[in-house]
Amino acid sequence: MKRIITIAALLSIVALTTFAQDEDSSGESNNFRRTKSKVGGAGGFIPGWGLFKFDEINKVLQSSGLPLIPKSEPMYLAGGEGYGYIMFLKNVRMGGRGIGGTISSTAFDKTTNVTKSVDYRISYGGFLVDYVMPIGDRLDVSVGLTLGGGSVNITVTRDDGSGKLWDDLWTEFGANTVTKNKTQHLNGSFFALQPSANIEYAILRWFQIRVGVTYPYMTNASWKLEDDKNLLGVPAKLKPDGPVITGGIMFGFFN
């Protein structure tokens, strides 16, 4: 709840600050701009900071003696977006969006001289539909929805730090003993639903910045081990859960 309040306060401050600094340099009144239909399109870079909960994955990691994913560290994500306004629905734009990121943790066991690491990657995206509300010259608020797919990729590594020799690798693989070094890849595929809200400001007619918040929902999980073996019994909550603060640097035509 504290995070949601913080995000709402941040968006309110940005909106008020931007609106206060807004100047009508185009000679159009705000009332005229609110009534005319938006046209054009854009594309650009979207960074994000995911405030995800990692409680479920950390339960599994702790029980297995693996390093935990830090709860207090936001997960950095990066991606892109492109869209164009459609003419038959006023102020509605359609396009595509994709974003992803990785958070990692590593621990060294002095007793066994083994380094254990966990890489947890999230990615999602799809087809987007936004409705844009002009509220001032160059200043817009957009609300929308992205439908598509998402995935969670978990890579777990155990390494004793020894030199790696070709012959030893094959000997170790063929022996009926526990391997010293091991890497496993787990992949979960989901249906992804992503509501979003953004405050957008066109500094120039071809250059826009934005700040917003999204909340990805992922359902209907299908898990694989090493990309080809079905993995059963995976906890249902082993997926992104939490808001994502997003930014944006967009290039195109903004009216």
- Report how far apart, in Å, the C-alpha atoms of 138 and of each of 16, 37, 225 are: 14, 14, 49
Domain holding 108, by residue range, is 2-252
Lowest mean pLDDT among 136-145, 152-161, 169-178: 169-178
CA angle 84, 197, 131 (to 5 degrees): 40
Question: Tens of pLDDT along 48-84?
Answer: 999 998 888 888 888 888 888 887 788 999 999 999 9
Longest Cα–Cα distance in the chain: 79
Q: Which of 139-143, 165-169, 202-206, 245-249 has the lowest mean pLDDT?
A: 165-169
Taking residues 9-21, report their average pLDDT: 43
Residue 164: per-residue pLDDT: 73
pLDDT (0 to 100) of residue 197: 96
For residue range 39-57, what is the model confidence (pLDDT) as tens digits? 889 999 999 999 998 888 8
Cα–Cα nearest to 61, from 71, 69, 50: 69
How far is Cα 94 from Cα 96, in angstroms, rounded to an integer?
7
- State residue 232's pLDDT score: 86
Average pLDDT over residues 213-238: 86
Neighbours of 26 (CB within 10 A): 12
Residue 162 confidence (pLDDT) = 73
Q: Other C-beta atoms within 10 Å of 25: how many? A: 9
Among 72-76, 92-96, 126-130, 245-249, whose mean pLDDT is lowest?
Answer: 72-76
Question: Looking at the 3D structure of the chain, how many domains does it have?
Answer: 1
- Residue 4: its H or E element: helix 2-21
Please report, rounded to a whole number, the percentage of residues in the chain having pLDDT higher than 70: 82
What single-letter DSSP state applies at residue 180?
S
Position 176 scores a pLDDT of: 66
Q: For the whole model, what pTM was predicted?
A: 0.76
Tell me, what's the pLDDT at 179? 67
Better pLDDT: 41 or 24: 41
CATH of residue 171: 2.40.160.20
Per-residue confidence (pLDDT) for residue 168, from 0 to 100: 73
